[in-house]
């Protein structure tokens, strides 16, 4: 059994993150953080730590070495009420800080692996630790399947609306450029198709393709400020 990572002191004056070897009983490193700090694993090698004052940093798990990141706005972490998610790719570190959704409308993710997104996304550059951009998102679900390889942050959300005696589903799709934080696509349309179950990145085209039982949808770049979407109903086999 190898070293184990522990977070101690929750609720006290300080939170302590340490790497401890249960076999040798040796503490390999220890980091003290203010109470209430967010500590999240970015991958197998790094942690993201963000205290309530927004002074973020990266911590290497093997050595405990700390690398400062540009601070978030002073109110970014104050009084947060929703879930908080940290993600990473080869160029940037991302933090999704959710807030409560009091709209009364339930928004569902597809069959794709996703997390709730209703708040603000912050992105830091890995190279210099600078805060690259921030972007608000509402009533969405962030697709985390294939996240590292995607050129955009993809959001897919489904909800049900009532009109008189009729109810119908709506499908919302949003794409945010990872490099700039700009919204490349944002659409909400009525949908009677089944949920998406797979995603494929075609780098040669380029395009991102969603598939469901009876629909194929492709997100492609266009000569304009937003990305285009094409949809193709899937043929249904008759096995009789």
Query: Is 6 within 8 Å of 57 (Cβ atoms)?
Result: no
H helices of 107-212, in order, are: none
Helix (H, G, I), strand (E, B) or coil at 4: strand
Distance, CA of 152 to CA of 168 (rounded, Å): 29
Burial of 4 (0-12, 13-18, 19+ CB in 10 A): exposed
Provide the residue-wise pLDDT of the chain in tens; the chain has 240 residues: 445 454 544 445 688 899 998 899 899 999 999 988 889 999 999 999 999 899 999 999 999 999 999 999 988 887 666 789 999 999 999 999 998 877 766 676 667 889 999 999 999 999 999 999 999 999 899 999 889 988 899 998 887 766 777 776 788 889 999 999 999 989 887 776 667 777 888 877 788 887 777 777 888 877 544 444 454 444 434 343
Distance, CA of 240 to CA of 219 (rounded, Å): 34
Distance, CA of 42 to CA of 87 (rounded, Å): 6
């Amino acid at each position: 059994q190898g070293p184990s990572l522990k977070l101690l002191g929750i609720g006290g004056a300080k939170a302590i993150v340490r790497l401890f070897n249960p076999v040798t009983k040796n503490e390999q490193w220890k980091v003290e953080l203010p109470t209430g700090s967010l500590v999240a694993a970015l991958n197998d090698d790094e942690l993201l730590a963000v205290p309530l004052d927004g002074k973020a940093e990266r911590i290497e798990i093997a050595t405990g070495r700390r690398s400062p990141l540009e601070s978030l706005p002073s109110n970014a972490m104050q009084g947060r009420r929703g879930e908080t998610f940290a993600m990473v790719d080869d160029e940037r570190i991302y933090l999704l800080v959710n807030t409560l959704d009091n709209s009364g409308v339930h928004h569902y993710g597809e069959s794709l692996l996703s997390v709730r997104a209703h708040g603000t996304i912050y992105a830091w550059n890995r190279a210099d630790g600078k805060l690259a951009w921030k972007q608000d998102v509402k009533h969405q679900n962030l697709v985390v399947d294939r996240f590292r390889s995607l050129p955009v942050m993809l959001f897919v959300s489904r909800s049900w609306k009532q009109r008189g005696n009729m109810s119908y589903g709506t499908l919302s799709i949003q794409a945010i450029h990872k490099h700039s934080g700009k919204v490349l696509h944002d659409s909400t349309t009525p949908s009677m198709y089944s949920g998406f179950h797979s995603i494929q990145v075609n780098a040669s085209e380029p395009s991102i393709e969603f598939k469901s039982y009876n629909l194929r949808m492709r997100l492609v770049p266009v000569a304009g400020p937003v990305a285009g979407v094409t949809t193709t109903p899937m043929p249904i086999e008759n096995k009789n």
